[in-house]
C-alpha cells in the first residue's frame, strides 16, 4: 500500500546524444514524435502520479555525467535514455553507480532487434531495469516502473 506523500517525487529524465533530433532523425526507427512532445506527455503522466520531472538532453558525455551527479542532491530517481553512449560509456555506468539513485534505462527502439553492437549495454548492470522498443511509450512505461519501485 502506498502512503500519501507531502511532496511530489522528483525525477530526472536524462537523454543522450542525438535525441534532440527526434522527429526528423531516422523516423522509421525512432518515430516522428519530437523529444519535446514526449516530454510534454511525460509531464502530464508524472503530474497524475504525484511526480515532477526535470529534463536534460545533451550530446556530451561529460554533461550527462554532471547531470547525474547533480541529481544526487535533489532527485528520487532517473529515467535515462543514454542513446549511443549505452554501448560505449564506462563513465556513465560509473556515474550511475556513484549517485546511488534508481535508474531505469530507456530506449525508443528495440535495441536487441537491431545491429549486433546495440545488443550490449554498459549501463544495464547498474540500472533498476530496462524498457525498450515501445517508441515514445517507453518513457511512460519507464517512469511508471520507477515510481512503482519508489512507492514500495
Q: Reduce the DSSP state of residue 47 to 3 states and report it.
A: helix
Q: Which of 30, 87, 112, 139 is catalytic?
A: 30
Answer whether CATH 3.90.1150.10 is correct for domain 9-151. no
User: With pLDDT > 90 as the criterion, what percentage of the chain qualifies?
Assistant: 78
List, for residues 118-149, the tens digit of each pLDDT value. Answer: 667 899 999 999 999 999 999 999 999 999 99
Q: Is 30 marked active-site?
A: yes
Name the nearest CA neighbour of 57 among 47, 46, 67, 45: 67
List, for residues 54-64, the tens digit of each pLDDT value. Answer: 999 999 999 99
Domain ranges of the chain: 9-151
Lowest mean per-residue pLDDT among 24-33, 41-50, 83-92, 97-106 = 24-33
Q: Reduce the DSSP state of residue 84 to 3 states and report it.
A: helix
Q: Is 107 marked active-site?
A: yes
List, for residues 7-22, the tens digit of each pLDDT value. Answer: 999 999 999 999 999 8
Pairing of the two strands 129-132 and 9-15: unpaired
Q: Reduce the DSSP state of residue 87 to 3 states and report it.
A: helix
Q: How many residues are recorded in the chain?
A: 152
Q: Which of 85, 87, 107, 119 is catalytic?
A: 107
Distance CA 17, CA 84 (A): 7
Asked if the model's pLDDT at residue 68 lies above 50, the reply is: yes
Amino acid at each position: 500500500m502506498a502512503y500519501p506523500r507531502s511532496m511530489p517525487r522528483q525525477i530526472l529524465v536524462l537523454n543522450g546524444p542525438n535525441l534532440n533530433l527526434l522527429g526528423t532523425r531516422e523516423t522509421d526507427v525512432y518515430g516522428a514524435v519530437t523529444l519535446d512532445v514526449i516530454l510534454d506527455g511525460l509531464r502530464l503522466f508524472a503530474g497524475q502520479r504525484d511526480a515532477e520531472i526535470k529534463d536534460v538532453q545533451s550530446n556530451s558525455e561529460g554533461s550527462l555525467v554532471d547531470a547525474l551527479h547533480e541529481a544526487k542532491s535533489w532527485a528520487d530517481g532517473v529515467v535515462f535514455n543514454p542513446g549511443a553512449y549505452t554501448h560505449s560509456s564506462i563513465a556513465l555506468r560509473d556515474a550511475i553507480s556513484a549517485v546511488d539513485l534508481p535508474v531505469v534505462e530507456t530506449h525508443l527502439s528495440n535495441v536487441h532487434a537491431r545491429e549486433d553492437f546495440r545488443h550490449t549495454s554498459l549501463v544495464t548492470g547498474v540500472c533498476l531495469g530496462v524498457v525498450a522498443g515501445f517508441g515514445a511509450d517507453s518513457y511512460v512505461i519507464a517512469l511508471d516502473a520507477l515510481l512503482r519501485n519508489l512507492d514500495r
